Amino acid sequence: MNLNQLRVFCTVVSEGGFLQASRTLYMSQPAISQHVAALEKSVGVRLFNRKGRNVSLTPEGRTLLVLAKEVLEKADGIPERFREMKELKTGKLSVGFELHPAMSLLPPVLKRFRTEFPDIQVTLLTDRQGSLLQRLTSGEIEMAVVGGNRRNLPSTGLITRSLGMESLTLIAPPDFPRQEAALLPPEALNGETIARYIPTCFLSPVVEDYLLQHQVKPKSDLWLDDPAVAARFVSEGICLAIVNRGILGGRAACFPTREIPLEGLEAISWEISAVYSSRLGLSYAGWAFEKILESEALRILKSA
């Protein structure tokens, strides 16, 4: 079954016969008959009752006519819909963000995108990196924005673009004693309660590597999976925490904390990348979103 067979079938019905359809479609009558016969063979039923030159639809033919008209209407509308999607007058976009870039990058990017392309329906998902990459592979989303060294991301079937580097900072409760030195030495954290991150948290390897390299031995009795939650605990005086600065611009911004310059931490950054499927690519809306994403990243993040 193909569109040409369906079009011939519908024309035979609308014109009232095979001869009339051949004149309308500028085809020979045998060619019209062949198309209808191939369609009947494809669906496994007889579509017409034939009596001389007169034809009428069978019950099965009436049912197929309804479906065929729907299919042809949609097919005929493809050029116009494609033009509208190309001009971003219509369309859908599904994008996934890890929580930390969602807090820092997503608000200005989404604001610009919605201003420039108000007719595009946007679906945004926030999830952990592994889940986002699975959704990307399955086609549920067409782009994911994630953190971490892009060299550690799966390379098969994915295209990865670095957006920039997000710096880390040590935050403390508002009443944390001020230090006279410009930088707090790492050994000052010995014995302090510092929020540690479980392995599934994106900051876990970065924080653990810093503590190991600087031989810091904090009080290790508080393990979390979310730096935003850590920031909330810091504001209550429960602990100190190393967080990515993007967190401070999100929901944690409403909680009072102090940034403390920590020696060695200024050299550590967290890479933010945009990832999409090499097989599926990006839609016109996806390309427009990525351009805005890259533009805002230049303003918010450090260059890689």
What's the whole-model pTM score? 0.63
Same domain? 94 vs 171: no
Same domain? 14 vs 159: no
Q: Domain range spanning residue 287?
A: 84-164+270-300
Task: Name the domain count of the chain.
Answer: 3
The CATH number linked to 33 is 1.10.10.10
Task: Return d(Cα 78, Cα 86) in angstroms, integer.
Answer: 12
The CATH number linked to 230 is 3.40.190.290
Same domain? 238 vs 113: no
Same domain? 205 vs 243: yes
Cβ atoms of 57 and 51 within 8 Å: the answer is no
pLDDT in tens, 262-273: 999 888 878 899
Same domain? 140 vs 276: yes
How is residue 67 written in tokens?
Answer: 């479906």
Same domain? 156 vs 287: yes
pLDDT in tens, 159-190: 899 999 888 899 999 888 766 557 889 998 99
Query: Within 13 Å, how many C-alpha atoms sit on residue 295's CB side?
Result: 12
Q: Which of 141, 119, 123 is nearest to 132 (CA)?
A: 141
Indicate the range of 93-102, 176-185, 248-257 predicted with least confidence: 248-257
Same domain? 170 vs 264: yes
